[in-house]
Structures are given as structure tokens and as C-alpha cells.
Amino acid sequence: MYKILKLKKGREKSVMNKHPWIFSGALQEKYHYTNGEIVELQTFDNTIAGYGFFSPKSQISCRMFDFADKPVELFDYNYFKKKITNAYYLRKKLINFENTNCFRLIHAEGDFFPGLIIDIYNDTAVIQVLIKGVELIIDFIKQSLIELDIKRICIKNPESNDIENVSIPFSFIYGEETDEITVLENNIQCHVNLRSGQKTGFFLDQRDNRQLVRELAKDKSVLNAFSYTGGFSVYAAKGNAKEVVSVDISKDATEMTTKNILLNSEEKNSFVIKADCFNYLREMPENHFDVIILDPPAFVKSAKNIQAGARGYKEINLQAMKKICKNGLLFTFSCSQHITPDLFQKIVFGAAADSGRNIRIIRHLSQGMDHPINIYHPEGEYLKGLLLYVE
Ligand code: SAH
């Protein structure tokens, strides 16, 4: 038997639509249950609406992981293991394991498992625990991964998470410790630094977009702005680009880019520059690059700074549009959750209008298929991109 949260009358619509977030304002009272415990959600007339993880300090008081309409006695190991094996079967359908051994196994709400990210790097699983409820069942998760023949399990949480009070430091909870591993993505090799890398170590979400760059880079001068591990750069080089310039502000990132270029023997015509991309884009010559990739970090971290972030996106896009060669291809992205696809397109539209160039959208881009978006949780569509043709 689980403790009960009750919805206010009239607040059941979003739950009926299977949106997994229950905001504190939708509940009848302030509940004082333990952080992370599993609770049963009921509507005002005592109908069961499902089960979720309770968060006493967050505005999202409960994150639903099951919309059962009948009482469930116990969510046990087998229950959570099934979520993980189901996610694995889906990845097996989507990813060619012969040329790719890194992928996202659990994409939080996108795999009906709020608060949990699991990325697989060859035989190693890297877990991000985003809420206390997931921390409380970490042994179930670990055991499920071992059954999938994972040899090492590492926990790498975001640096601070006071609201959820998630406390596990960077650590290996299974298998031999290692900081670096090499993975294969579309037959391209990549070093991933688990300890010092951003997020879980590598941006798996850009796999398909990197592949598209490879297909379009032949004989082109390519600029990869905000290069991080240099994934786009190596793909462009593998696609026989004439020249690939990678720019990142971080020394670690530029070193990583160089390492990955060497690992794939693509150092010829590759240049790695440590610089602020805002300055680089402003100062770079006109009519030099045929292909530009803009994949910056999330400029908008909270709803409060949407405007400032939007100015950042507009500025880099405007510079790229002004400078790119005639008939150039611009890949432009935003991974800010608070910027909707619509808003992103509006910002890019603003830059296009100011640039005075003729610009067409060739393709809408998004995160890879191993980052599914729960249709009832559109917030899961965080990576937005446009491939633009600039005349
Ligand atoms: N395109 C990368 C991911 C980029 S992550 C990939 O496919 O893996 C964002 C990167 O932007 C980080 O490496 C960070 O160091 C870099 N960065 C942040 N602000 C920057 C700035 N003003 N100029 C250049 N690089 C910046």
C-alpha cells in the first residue's frame, strides 16, 4: 500500500492525458511524505490515477511512472527491470550494433522512467540520477543492467541538485573503474571521458545529424563551432571535407577534439582553435566556409532567461548567415528545453531577416531515435535544429 496524493477537483485533465508531471498547485494539500517515496495519485473522487515518485521540495511534487487505474501492491525489481529491458528492445530495433556501440538506453520520461538517464558506452553504462525516487531504487537498476551483460556501471550526476537532494557522487557501482573509454558510432571512433566530460560524457543525441554532415561535407570548407568532443568535425573529415575548423572555448574540449581527429587519422586539413565562438564568428572572414555547424550549450537554463538566451542564439546565427559562402549549408541547433521548436524557428527567422540573405529550411532536425519523446510529454523534445540553405 502506498501513501496517497489527492488532486484538486478540476485538475485531473493533464493526468488523464498521461502528462507525467504533477505540480504542487494541483494537489489538495501540502504532503509531508519522504523524499523520493513511491506514492499513489488519486483524483478528488478517490479514483486511482497512477503512481509516481514524490518530491517534497520541487514544484513538480510527483513524477508519474505508471498510469495504472487499479491498485498496485508493489513495484518490485521485476517491474522496473521490465522498463529497462523494453527500452533495450526498442534500441535493438533502431540501432545497428555492428557499427555503433553507444546509445541512450533510458531517456527519462521518453522511456516512462522519469528522473533516469542511462547512456551505454560499449560495455559501460553511465547513469544520471535526477530525482531521489530513482536513487532509492538504484539497486534494481544496477541489477537490470548486469542482466543485460553490462560490465561496468558508473553514476555521474549533475553537479548540484539541492531540490531533489540526490547525493551519489561520481562513482562506479559495478565493474572495474575507468575514466576513458573508446566508443564506435557509425564506424567512427570516439574517446569519451566519463569523469570530466559533460553530461554523461558524449552527446549521443546528435548521431543522425553528424551522419548528415558527413553526407554533405564532400569538398567543403566546414566550420564546427562549439565543437566539444569534435564529433561533427570527424564526421565532416570522413565525408572528405576540404578543410575542417573546430572551435571551442574550453581547453579540455579542444584537446578532446584533437584526440578524436587523430584517433580517426583525419588530421590532414583539420584545424582546432581554442576561442570564444561569439568572437570567432564576428571576426572570421566572409565567404570562407561552405558548411557551418552551430551547436552551442543550452543558453537558456531557466524560463527567466529566455530573452537573454534568445539574443545569444540570434547573434551567432546572424554572424554565420552573413559570413557563410553563397549556397552554403548552415546546421543550427538549440538544446535549451525552454526554447520550443517554434520559438527557435522564430529566432532563426529574425537572424535570417537581418542578414538579408535568401534562406530556406532544407530539413528540421531533432534528437536521435534513441531519445524518444513521450507524446504526452512534449517537453522531452529538447534538441531542435534546422538545416538551412543560404543563398
Ligand atoms: N557539438 C558538440 C556539443 C557541444 S556542447 C557535440 O556534438 O558533441 C557545447 C560546447 O560549447 C562545450 O564544449 C563548451 O565548452 C562550448 N562553449 C560554451 N560556450 C562557448 C563559447 N562562448 N565559445 C566557444 N565554445 C563554447
Domain ranges for the chain, please list them: 3-66, 77-178, 203-390
For residue range 213-272, list pLDDT tens digits in order.
999 999 999 999 999 999 999 999 999 999 999 999 999 999 999 999 999 999 999 999
**Amino acid, single-letter form, for residue 248:** D
* 238, containing H or E segment: helix 231-238
> What pTM value is reported for the model?
0.95
Ligand 1 proximity of 256 Cβ (cutoff 6 Å): no
- Residues with a catalytic annotation lie at 335
The pLDDT assigned to 210 comes to: 98
For residue range 29-78, list pLDDT tens digits in order.
999 999 999 999 999 999 999 999 999 999 999 999 999 999 999 999 99
Distance between CA atoms of residues 256 and 231, nearest Å = 10
**33 CA distance to ligand 1 middle (Å):** 40
Identify the burial level of 250 via C-beta atoms within 10 angstroms of its C-beta, where 0-12 means exposed, 13-18 middle and 19 or more buried.
middle
Ligand 1 proximity of 244 Cβ (cutoff 6 Å): no
**296 CA distance to ligand 1 middle (Å):** 5
Measured CA to CA in angstroms, residue 220 lies from 7, 171, 231 at distances of 57, 43, 17
- Identify which of 185, 235, 249 to mutate to test ligand 1's pocket (most ligand atoms within 8 A of the CB): 249
Q: What CATH number was assigned to the domain covering residues 203-390?
A: 3.40.50.150
Distance between CA atoms of residues 269 and 279, nearest Å = 23
Ligand 1 proximity of 249 Cβ (cutoff 6 Å): yes
Quickly count: other Cβ atoms within 10 Å of residue 147's Cβ.
12
Of the chain, the percentage scoring pLDDT greater than 70 comes to 100
Crossing angle of helices 207-216 and 231-238, rounded to 10°: 30
Measured CA to CA in angstroms, residue 140 lies from 25, 80, 81, 82, 269 at distances of 32, 7, 7, 11, 48
The pLDDT-based confidence of 301 (bands split at 50, 70, 90) is confident
φ, ψ of residue 255 in degrees (nearest 5): -65, -40
The pLDDT assigned to 282 comes to: 97
**Ligand 1, atom nearest to 297 Cα:** 9
Beta bridge partners of 180: 193
Ligand 1 proximity of 226 Cβ (cutoff 6 Å): yes
The pLDDT assigned to 176 comes to: 96
**224 CA distance to ligand 1 middle (Å):** 10
Distance between CA atoms of residues 126 and 105, nearest Å = 10
Q: How many helices (DSSP H) and strands (DSSP E) are in the chain?
A: 10, 19
Question: Is 252 within 8 Å of 195 (Cβ atoms)?
Answer: no
For residue range 95-123, list pLDDT tens digits in order.
999 999 999 999 999 999 999 999 999 99
Protein fold of 77-178:
Transcription Regulator spoIIAA (3.30.750)
Question: Is 12 within 8 Å of 18 (Cβ atoms)?
Answer: no
For residue range 145-190, list pLDDT tens digits in order.
999 999 999 999 987 778 888 888 899 999 999 999 999 999 999 9
Q: What is the DSSP letter of 160?
A: -
The C-alpha R_g of the chain, in whole angstroms, comes to: 22
Q: Is the pLDDT of residue 380 over 80?
A: yes
Question: Is 246 within 8 Å of 233 (Cβ atoms)?
Answer: yes
Distance between CA atoms of residues 42 and 29, nearest Å = 13
The pLDDT assigned to 48 comes to: 96
User: From atom 11 of ligand 1, which residue's Cα is the shortest distance away?
Assistant: 226
Chain CA centroid to CA 65, Å: 20
Let me know the angle formed at the C-alpha of 369 by 363 and 375, rounded to the nearest 5 degrees: 90
Looking at every residue in the chain, the average pLDDT score rounds to 96
Three-class DSSP category at 234? helix
Ligand 1 proximity of 333 Cβ (cutoff 6 Å): no
Nearest CA-CA partner of 20 in 128, 116, 117, 114: 114
The pLDDT assigned to 168 comes to: 86
Measured CA to CA in angstroms, residue 185 lies from 71, 90, 285, 295, 370 at distances of 43, 18, 33, 19, 13
Q: State the CATH architecture for 3-66.
A: Roll (2.30)
**208 CA distance to ligand 1 middle (Å):** 19
Ligand 1 proximity of 228 Cβ (cutoff 6 Å): yes
The pLDDT assigned to 142 comes to: 98
